[in-house]
Amino acid sequence: MSDPIRVVIADDSVLLREGLARLLEEFGFEVAAQAGDAEDLLRKVGSHKPDVAVVDVRMPPTHTDEGLRAAHEIRATYPETGVLVLSQYVEEAYALELLSESTESTGYLLKDRVADVDSFTDAVRRVANGGSALDPEVVALLLGRRRREDPLQSITPREREVLGLMAEGRSNAAIAEALVVTERAVEKHVTSIFSKLDLTPAVEDHRRVLAVLAYLRAA
Amino acid sequence: MSGLRRALGLVAIEGVVVGLVALAIVLSSDHIDARAFQAILGLFIGWSWIGAGLIAWWRRPDNRFGVLMTAVGFAFFLSSLAAADAAWLFTIGVLLSAVYFAVFVHMLVAYPDGRIGSDRLRNVVIAGYVIAVLGPLPSLLFATPERLDCDNCPQSVLFIEDNGTLYTIFDVLTSLIAVVLVGYVVFVTLARFRDAPQARRRAMAPVIWSGAGLLVVLAGALLTEAVDGPEAISDATDLLGLFLFALVPYGFVFGVLRSRVLQAGAVTEFLHRIGDGPDPSDLRDLLSTALGDRSLQVVYWLDRPRKWVDAAGHPAVLPGDDDPARAVTRVEREGRAVGALIHDRSLCEDPELVGSVAAAAGLSIENERLQAQLRARVEELRASRARIVAAGTAERRRLERNLHDGAQQRLVALSLTLRVAQSRLRKDPDGAEAMIAGAQEELTLALEELRELARGIHPAVLSDRGLEPALAALAGRSPVPVAVEETPTERLPPAVEAAAYFVVAEALTNVVKYAGASQARISISRTNGHAVVEVADDGVGGADPTRGSGLRGLADRVSALDGTLELRSPQGAGTVLRASIPV
């Protein structure tokens, strides 16, 4: 087995921080450090160089979007460290701001998601390995606000599901597993979607996410 | 008043006597040309000044101007001593012969309010007196009567030697200084005239123009003399000067009468127009025209809250008694203050005018006051409405923060714990059990927090059971002992109950936080159609009603129900918060 993924956790609630640490350790991650605010987080990321930082959006002192700003800074300063931002509410604006420039090693999840251990740990792993993770609720919002005469109307319900999972940042294999179909079938859907939406096919998952998000945002 | 009248009568008698003495001196003089003419003219001028001065003195006893004007007359008679044949009297007369000019300058500088505006002007006046005495001195010290072209004049008792050079130098020097002083006084006088309000200028004009004219002529005469100019000019300026000097007191009387007539006209016009029930904006303009003061402001007195406001209902500040430029005339109706006129201080010279105009405007001002009161109330309502909205937003943010930091975090952590416990259930049943027990505790805490939060939004017991149990619960939770003394027997409207509850809750919070009290008591009674909520403590007092947003928010909440909130908190004697809400 390869080395465990190393994580730094930042949240101003000790209760939650401890809970997260215990959960991640329980499921095979190594929690390198915990931080109570953005400054502390940046310092600890700098010294521990973790694979991924799991960051709460709201932290002291203003309790607004410190986590988000710290995330940008981590991505800019430590490209080897992925950032998974946790938020109490779905804030589409925050999510898109985070994922607008690059989806590489970046994720945005609703905090409640952490109890769904499989998909949470999957997301942490994905972001740690250079992929992306976008909360299904954000994806649903993006898909939901499309207009009637939109090209999205021309894709089939199954293709729509695949599109949503792509937007969440999942790989073809993960999509196949989620939909209980073969990877080959997923590939066919993906090709069809890209041609219907007139998108350039991308090989890497995080580039694919970027393309899909860019398309969805352009609504 | 009769004291003043008696005093003025005595001064008048003295004036008559002094005048007659001066007349006698001039008539018996050996060295005066045209004695009879000079004597009669002198008497006429002196009495004119004293008479006009006494009129001014009597009209405005507090104004030094009348005194100064009277003094000019007496000083003028004093100069008649120069006509005396006895050497020592003649010497004194010549020495003091120009003093009346100095008094005149003093008077003009103090015109019209009897005060000298600045230290510099005060120095100018003093210099005037000094120069007035120094001016004639060379002729007494260094000149024989022949040099002065007055062969019959007695020899001065101060005579030292006949020295033409010293005499000329001395004389030219004092003349030039006098010219500079006079020029400065003319400048200051005209500037003051220019800055006076229009109505004042009407009354001031005759004195200012004749006075300033006289000073210009005097300066001309002094210059002519200094350069030893032609005798014709010197004679002409003397005559013109005398004429203008005689004119000033009549100018004064004329100015007073003219402004009376003009003001009477303005007041009549004002009464006529005010009868039509003018528009609010016109009222100020009418008053401003009638009083000839373009800077006039009208302010209104509100009973509740007690303050001055302008016509738009904005708070206004009255100038103090020591304000050099502005003054206040209060307007009352039936013994109650309804408003005030803020005007140029110089109008205080004419209290009758301002008083009669203010009295005539009383009804209109009263009407306007009611309007202003309404506007002030609207203004207050607008402000309090904005505060209520802001308070609502702040309250929502606070609730969101409390939920986010409290129950929500606990529940997320709880679901994490449960998930970990679930995964350990088989391999480590004891550890899992301990985790589930911990989760149970967390859940209890989360529920408690939610309950507290919900109570803060609106206590359920208040809607279900009314004030009494709700207050009892509040009192029970307070760390300071609280006695609930009285609560209404029947239910009040929900909004009133809620307001009463939050008044008590906020008051008790403050009691615990700031009062240092050993006990507090609550009562809510129904009096005269009002629910009166009172929370009293025995703490340190001295609470500042502007402190924090809590009380402000409460006041808004109470005033939204048309009620009032009052805080009494004398230093060291406890605090009483009382809200009165109509039911």
- A22 contacts in chain B (CB < 8 Å): 416-417, 420
Q: How far apart are CA B50 and CA B63, in angstroms?
A: 16
Higher-pLDDT residue of A67, B282? A67
With a cut of 60, say whether residue B1 has pLDDT above it.
no
Other residues' Cβ atoms within 10 Å of the Cβ of residue B568? 14
Q: Alpha helix locations (H) across B304-361?
A: 351-360
Examine the domain organization and report whether B320 and B373 are in the same domain: yes
Determine the distance in angstroms separating the CA of A15 from the nearest CA of chain B, rounded to an integer.
6
- A20 contacts in chain B (CB < 8 Å): 416
pLDDT, position B199 = 67
A112 touches chain B (CB under 8 A): yes
DSSP-derived secondary structure letter, A3: P
pLDDT, position B483 = 92
Q: How far apart are CA A189 and CA A185, in angstroms?
A: 6
Which tokens in the block code for residue B389? 């909205």
B416 touches chain A (CB under 8 A): yes
Determine the distance in angstroms separating the CA of B457 from the nearest CA of chain A, rounded to an integer.
22
- A117 contacts in chain B (CB < 8 Å): 419, 423
User: Are A6-134 and A140-217 the same fold in CATH?
Assistant: no
Examine the domain organization and report whether B109 and B155 are in the same domain: yes
Examine the domain organization and report whether B385 and B368 are in the same domain: no
Identity of residue A66: E
Determine the distance in angstroms separating the CA of B552 from the nearest CA of chain A, rounded to an integer.
25
Examine the domain organization and report whether B315 and B388 are in the same domain: no
As a residue count, chain A comes to 219
pLDDT, position B520 = 93
Nearest to A84 by CA among A14, A8, A3: A8
C-alpha distance from residue B244 to each of A2, B46, B102, B218 (Å): 119, 13, 16, 10
With a cut of 90, say whether residue A78 has pLDDT above it.
yes
Which tokens in the block code for residue B299? 């302010």
With a cut of 70, say whether residue B484 has pLDDT above it.
yes
Q: How far apart are CA A7 and CA A26, in angstroms?
A: 13
With a cut of 60, say whether residue A219 has pLDDT above it.
no
Higher-pLDDT residue of B553, B184? B184
- Closest in A19, A63, A88 to B413, CB measured: A19
Rounded to the nearest angstrom, the gap between the alpha carbon of residue B358 and the centroid of all alpha carbons in its chain is 17
Residue that is last in its domain, among B440, B457, B474? B457
B421 touches chain A (CB under 8 A): no
Examine the domain organization and report whether B546 and B475 are in the same domain: yes
Examine the domain organization and report whether B440 and B475 are in the same domain: no
B441 touches chain A (CB under 8 A): no
Is B284 inside any structural domain?
no
> CATH classification of A140-217, choosing from 2.60.40.2250, 3.90.228.20, 1.10.10.10, 3.40.50.970?
1.10.10.10
- A18 contacts in chain B (CB < 8 Å): 413
User: Could you tell me where the beta strands, DSSP code E, fall in B428-568?
Assistant: 482-486, 520-527, 530-537, 564-568
Q: How far apart are CA A83 and CA A94, in angstroms?
A: 14
With a cut of 90, say whether residue A101 has pLDDT above it.
no
Q: Do A111 and B404 touch (CB under 8 A)?
A: no
B314 touches chain A (CB under 8 A): no
Q: Which residue in chain B is spatially nearest to A112 when comparing CA positions? A: B412
- A112 contacts in chain B (CB < 8 Å): 412, 415
- B406 contacts in chain A (CB < 8 Å): none
Identity of residue B240: L
B393 touches chain A (CB under 8 A): no
What is the three-class DSSP state of A179?
helix
With a cut of 80, say whether residue B225 has pLDDT above it.
no
Determine the distance in angstroms separating the CA of A154 from the nearest CA of chain B, rounded to an integer.
39
Q: Do A13 and B419 touch (CB under 8 A)?
A: no
Q: Which residue in chain B is spatially nearest to A23 when comparing CA positions? A: B420
Q: Which residue in chain A is spatially nearest to B409 when comparing CA positions? A: A16
Examine the domain organization and report whether B345 and B404 are in the same domain: no
pLDDT, position B549 = 66
Is B271 inside any structural domain?
no
Q: Which residue in chain A is spatially nearest to B416 when comparing CA positions? A: A115
- A26 contacts in chain B (CB < 8 Å): 420, 423-424
Tell me the pLDDT tens digit for each residue of B117-150. 788 889 989 999 999 888 888 888 888 877 777 7
- Residue labelled with tokens 């080395």: A3
Mean pLDDT of B315-340: 84
- Closest in B408, B417, B419 to A88, CB measured: B408
Burial B307-330 (b: 16+ CB within 10 A, else e): ebbbbebeebeeeeeeeeeebbbe
Examine the domain organization and report whether B427 and B492 are in the same domain: no
Nearest to B178 by CA among B135, B118, B225, B229: B135
Examine the domain organization and report whether B105 and B194 are in the same domain: yes
- Looking at domain A6-134, its CATH architecture is 3-Layer(aba) Sandwich (3.40)
Determine the distance in angstroms separating the CA of A177 from the nearest CA of chain B, rounded to an integer.
22
Lowest pLDDT segment from B311-325, B482-496, B553-567 = B311-325
Q: Alpha helix locations (H) across chain A?
A: 14-26, 38-48, 66-77, 92-99, 117-128, 136-144, 157-168, 172-179, 183-196, 205-217
Examine the domain organization and report whether B536 and B577 are in the same domain: yes
Q: How far apart are CA A138 and CA A110, in angstroms?
A: 9
Q: Do B413 and A88 touch (CB under 8 A)?
A: no
Determine the distance in angstroms separating the CA of B390 from the nearest CA of chain A, rounded to an integer.
19
Residue that is last in its domain, among B435, B457, B479? B457
Q: How far apart are CA A19 and CA B454, in angstroms?
A: 27
Is B44 inside any structural domain?
yes
Is B422 inside any structural domain?
yes
**How many pairs of residues across A and B have Cβ atoms under 8 Å apart?**
45
3-state per-residue secondary structure call for B531-547 = EEEEEEECCCCCCCCCC
Tell me the pLDDT tens digit for each residue of B72-116. 999 999 888 888 888 888 889 888 988 998 999 998 888 877 778
Q: Do B413 and A58 touch (CB under 8 A)?
A: no
Share above pLDDT 70 across residues of chain A, in percent, rounded to a whole number = 95
Q: Where are the domains of chain A?
A: 6-134, 140-217
The strands making up A132-134's β-sheet, listed across from edge to edge, are A30-35, A6-10, A52-56, A82-87, A106-110, A132-134
Q: What is the CATH number of the domain that holds B245?
A: 1.20.1070
Residue that is last in its domain, among B390, B424, B457? B457
Q: Do A22 and B417 touch (CB under 8 A)?
A: yes
pLDDT, position B30 = 80
Q: How far apart are CA B98 and CA B81, in angstroms?
A: 12
Is B432 inside any structural domain?
yes
With a cut of 60, say whether residue B482 has pLDDT above it.
yes
Examine the domain organization and report whether B392 and B370 are in the same domain: no
Mean pLDDT of A62-90: 89
Q: What is the CATH number of the domain that holds B444?
A: 1.20.5
Identity of residue B75: A
Q: Which residue in chain B is spatially nearest to A11 when comparing CA positions? A: B409
Determine the distance in angstroms separating the CA of A199 from the nearest CA of chain B, rounded to an integer.
39
Lowest pLDDT segment from B207-216, B313-322, B540-549 = B540-549
Nearest to A53 by CA among A19, A7, A22, A95: A7
Residue B375: pLDDT band by 50, 70, 90 thresholds? confident
Domain span at B116: 2-262
B38 touches chain A (CB under 8 A): no
pLDDT, position B543 = 82
DSSP B356-403: HHHHHTHHHHHHHHHHHHHHHHHHHHHHHHHHHHHHHHHHHHHHHHHH
Does ipTM top 0.85? Answer: no
- Closest in A58, A111, A117 to B419, CB measured: A117
The number of distinct structural domains making up chain B is 4
Share above pLDDT 90 across residues of chain A, in percent, rounded to a whole number = 43
- A15 contacts in chain B (CB < 8 Å): 409-410, 413, 442
With a cut of 90, say whether residue B32 has pLDDT above it.
no
Lowest pLDDT segment from A150-159, B269-278, B320-329, B428-437 = B269-278
Tell me the pLDDT tens digit for each residue of B395-449. 888 888 888 778 888 888 888 889 889 988 999 999 999 999 988 988 988 888 8
Tell me the pLDDT tens digit for each residue of A45-66. 999 999 999 999 888 888 888 8
Q: What is the CATH number of the domain that holds B472?
A: 3.30.565.10
Examine the domain organization and report whether B44 and B68 are in the same domain: yes
A74 touches chain B (CB under 8 A): no
B238, B275 Cβ separation under 8 angstroms: no
- B401 contacts in chain A (CB < 8 Å): 63
B83, B25 Cβ separation under 8 angstroms: yes
